[in-house]
């Protein structure tokens, strides 16, 4: 039985899976890209911009996050995703305002904190500006920002590159509505100046504390919001002399508050994360080892499916036996009971003063 939860942050939406106790099989912890694509597909799957796994820490942190884009590629970090993960953890554990988590990511240790208004403030770590760390082939200017020019469709665009663990390109433009957004987004995502591809943000400066971007995400295409991208945009805008160090970054899905005190300091991002629904994956869609390594809940004892170590062949036959001996109704009941617990704890949280 593989349960998941769907969350969104400003319309950037994610499938979240609980694996902090090591309950997710290797096939899910390091998933095949085609499986992630299937889950994220909005017609053939659950539908999401990405899949996020909560996993046991490999060091001293409280947990580890892995995030996979809708195309199955792995991202180093995800700002909206980590807010969704924090909300998911709080909902699962009944945590309230003030709770912080230290979360390992390939981009380093990230620390989200639950605020009293329900928003989540995240210490996103310091931006990477060394071209090799972004990574980009652009050279840094006097302010230390990698900047350059790119010709697309006969138009010369000025472009800055910033790493937030994952690579971003920021392109200031005069008018967000008239640019060939999809073509430029895709071209820049795959441009040789970004050897690991990039998330691309077209920036309109409305004022020194009011920035607006349109987001083209690496591995996902146009999305409604991008947390790391909003942070990268603020850093680029500050170093280009276009913005104060604290600003609202308006995204298609809504605003994020971003601040960056000084070079070398962490960028802070504050914004919402919202639960949408919980679900149970059709057993046909669960990689077979997952079903084998996950014993059924104790309230439905099934002699043939236990958690002891066994050969793959034996595990598969136990899974088959479990599936054959358990009706769809009772599977749904098992799942519903645990989903009810989560929903109740969420409701209790919401009525707390």
Residues with a catalytic annotation lie at: 78, 226
Out of 219, 253, 255, 271, the only residue in the binding site for ligand ZDR (CB under 6 A) is: 219
Comparison of 1 and 213: residue with beta carbon closer to ligand ZDR = 213
Token pair recorded at residue 149: 């020019």
CA nearest to 73, candidates 119, 16, 34, 113:
34
Residues sharing a CB contact under 8 Å with residue 203, sequence separation 6 or more, in sequence order = 170, 171, 172, 173, 211, 212, 213, 233, 236, 237
105 is a site residue for ligand ZDR (CB under 6 A) = no
CA nearest to 280, candidates 261, 270, 268, 294:
294
Q: How far is the CB of 176 from ligand ZDR (least distance, A)?
A: 17
Out of 8, 25, 37, 69, the only residue in the binding site for ligand ZDR (CB under 6 A) is: 69
**Nearest-angstrom CA–CA distance, 238 and 265:** 13
Out of 25, 105, 136, 166, the only residue in the binding site for ligand ZDR (CB under 6 A) is: 166
Q: How far is the CB of 214 from ligand ZDR (least distance, A)?
A: 13
Q: How far is the CB of 231 from ligand ZDR (least distance, A)?
A: 8
Out of 91, 104, 217, 278, the only residue in the binding site for ligand ZDR (CB under 6 A) is: 217
Comparison of 229 and 255: residue with beta carbon closer to ligand ZDR = 229
326 is a site residue for ligand ZDR (CB under 6 A) = no
Helices 227-239 and 79-93, axial angle in degrees (round to 10): 140
Alpha-carbon distances, residue 124 vs 28, 57, 164, 289 (angstroms): 26, 18, 8, 34
75 is a site residue for ligand ZDR (CB under 6 A) = yes
139 by Cβ neighbours in 10 Å (0-12 / 13-18 / 19+) ranks as exposed
Asked if residues 158 and 189 have their Cβ atoms less than 8 Å apart, the reply is no
Q: Which residues bind ligand ZDR (CB under 6 A)?
A: 12, 50, 69, 75, 78-81, 166, 199, 217-220, 226-229
């Amino acid at each position: 039985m593989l349960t998941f939860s769907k969350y969104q942050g400003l319309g950037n939406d994610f499938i979240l899976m609980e694996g902090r106790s090591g309950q997710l099989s290797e096939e899910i912890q390091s998933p095949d890209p085609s499986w992630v694509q299937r889950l994220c597909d909005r017609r053939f799957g659950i539908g999401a911009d990405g899949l996020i796994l909560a996993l046991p820490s490999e060091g001293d942190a409280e947990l580890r996050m892995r995030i996979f884009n809708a195309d199955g590629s792995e991202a180093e970090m995800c700002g909206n995703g980590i807010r969704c993960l924090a909300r998911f953890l709080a909902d699962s554990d009944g945590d309230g305002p003030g709770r912080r988590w230290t979360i390992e990511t390939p981009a380093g240790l990230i620390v989200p904190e639950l605020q009293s208004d329900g928003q989540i403030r995240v210490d996103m770590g310091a931006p990477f500006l060394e071209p090799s760390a972004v990574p980009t082939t652009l050279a840094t200017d006097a302010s230390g920002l990698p900047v350059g020019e790119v010709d697309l469709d006969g138009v010369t665009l000025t472009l800055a590159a910033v790493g937030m663990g994952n690579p971003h390109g920021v392109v200031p433009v005069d008018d967000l509505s008239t640019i060939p957004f999809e073509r430029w987004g895709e071209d820049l995502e795959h441009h040789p100046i970004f050897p690991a591809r990039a998330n691309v943000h077209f920036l309109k400066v409305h004022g020194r504390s009011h920035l607006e971007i349109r987001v083209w995400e690496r591995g996902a295409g146009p999305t409604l919001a991008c947390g790391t991208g909003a942070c990268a945009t603020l850093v680029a805008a500050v170093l280009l002399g276009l913005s104060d160090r604290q600003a609202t970054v308006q995204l298609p899905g809504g605003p994020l508050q971003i601040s960056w005190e000084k070079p070398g300091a962490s960028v802070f991002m504050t914004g919402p994360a919202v639960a949408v629904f919980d679900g149970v994956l059709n057993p046909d869609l669960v990689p077979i080892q997952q079903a084998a390594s996950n014993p059924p809940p104790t309230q439905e004892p099934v002699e043939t499916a236990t958690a002891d170590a066994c050969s793959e062949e034996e595990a598969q036959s136990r899974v088959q036996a479990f599936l054959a001996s358990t009706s769809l109704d009772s599977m749904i009941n098992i799942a519903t009971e645990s989903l009810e617990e989560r929903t109740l704890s969420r409701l209790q949280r919401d009525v707390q003063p």
